[in-house]
Chain A
Amino acid sequence: MEGNKGGVVFVVIVLIMVAIGFSLMLNPPTVKSFSLPAVPSKGVKHYENITIYADALGWDYGHGTLNPTISIANNTVVNFTVIEEDGQPHTLTVNPGSAESSYQDTLLSTSQITTIPGHVSTTQAYFNTIGVFTYWCTVHPETMVGLIYVNATVNTTVPSAHYANYSNKTLALSENNLSANGVLYPTIALPTSTLLNLTIKDASSSNYTLKISSGSKVDTSNYTTVINETNRSATGSIPFNQTGQYVYWNSNNTSRFGIIYIYSALVNTSLYADVNGWNFTKSSGVNPTITISAGTLINFTLINEDNLTHVLEINSGNKENSNTSAAVASVNSTTNKSQGYYLFMSTGNYTYWDLYHPSTAVGIVEVTNSSSSSASVSYIIGSESDSGNYISLLGIQTRDELYP
């Protein structure tokens, strides 16, 4: 009988399968490589220093916010400083996207972040792609994971044509506080579509970072860094395109902050505080209804009429609610006049009332839909015949004039 090629066929199959197995194993799906761009030698506009503590229970465990969200401008070089906390192996790994992925770049490996507690390791990373990145530890991916937002909003140079308004502010830095003309953390009110150029004069030698977050209080997990200063003076630009409330603070002192209001319309109004009701003796009638459009910032001037203590509280809804209300301004026997802002963001009714005389001094602010542009603002307070008497309208400001 002739020879049989069965053995040859089997050997060929074995060799093919071994080759397939090799090619499969040597290209496991887990070694697709991603790498951040190399740090350019020049032309970098932003530098950010970020120090994080490596702990198996989470980044920065026991050092403030757990797994802090890092928000940086596009084209930023981040100087990471990683401090070993718990004697366990850790990596600093970054990948694009909002979750861990094997398509990653390990900036610091377990051999670089040694297991000696207190060991400091540093690295640089250059982010030139707008979007969200994840930073994590490949050894502890369940606990040590946080986000990096690379924002387009804070940019190096913004064409002037894009912004209707400009505002130049100068703040002084002293004792880790920010002030202007002796006023600590002054409130800044700006119309929408404004590019705010902030200049910081630093009297001390402390290094600081000026940060801005949206909302009504300091948010250390989601912020934009405007200025990251290691010298005596620095300038940063930030565009404000959306109506809303923002806060700015000095990174060395997160307990104090200033407020930035971005409004679509600004109304100045005076309220006369009386135990019998707002504007009790005035021709507008008692507790006048104030009608404005959404996005309007009202600059209240509170004037004391009866030398009692009055606190102007405002909350949304048709009746007073001390749980949600915010104190805007207050007067008493010694302070007869004070001033405060309230930004009416959403349509609907708000209630303005006196914390000490809620049964008598309570009125409604009607916020209508701002269907047209911010230039058209309707306001009716009291009777029209008395307009201009105690309610002054400064109109829509295209340039910031409230703050020197």
Chain B
Amino acid sequence: MAASTLTALRVLIRLSLATELQYRVNLLQSLIGGAAAQATQLLFIGVILTSFGAIGGWSASEVMLLVGLRMAAHAIYAFFFRRVIDNDRVVHTGEFDRYLLRPVPAFLQLLTRQFNLQQLGDIFIAAAVLGVAVRNASIDWTFGLALFCGASVIGGGLIEASLQTIRAAAAFRLANTDALIGTIDSLVGTYSNFPLQIFGGFASAFFTFAVPLAFIAWAPAAILLNRSADLGFPAEIAWSTPAFGPILMMLAVTVYHLESRHYSSPGS
């Protein structure tokens, strides 16, 4: 990345941060809102675990580790990439015209159009859940495993970001992708919290190879808990989880830039 691009990026981040800090009450409300959005899925899984105790042969503490990893990955996505959901508006209002004039890649401008300070709420709640879950799960920690855990969280966040980026790219042709945002949010937010073997062979394969939900939290959790036999694919693939996120994200950004060629300005 050229030095001028980095300078422009720094300016954009500083501007968006200043905008967020200007309205303190709104910021506080947003922080609580960010945490509340995560809490919905936590409540769902919490009530099920309280009533049923175990899911798909995984104990409550094992499922909570899976949930903690999923929430942490989501927090990474939400803090760094959440603004991709704004692409519909950016296209409708012609804001994208400005992106084409500035000397910074359009995708970076989309990400920095607003600083995601409110997503700190996501981070706090995810850190708390993951912290408790790690303490309660029986894991034989090694340095390598701890490194894998951290890298998997980042990789999981990038996988979710790549799904939403490809969705954002679709906005250049479809104009309205609200339903896709909701579907991806719901798939990742609700169903990634379950050990995916419960969905059976076909659906597990679908969530592994077509929509890679398996690598957001299930595969890393299975490795940490020494339950790779539940995965239905070789453990080596699960160990490669941290690499999938960056690869998918690079592909998604390429798709975004290719699809942006179909942008037609509303004439702003």
A and B together in one complex: no
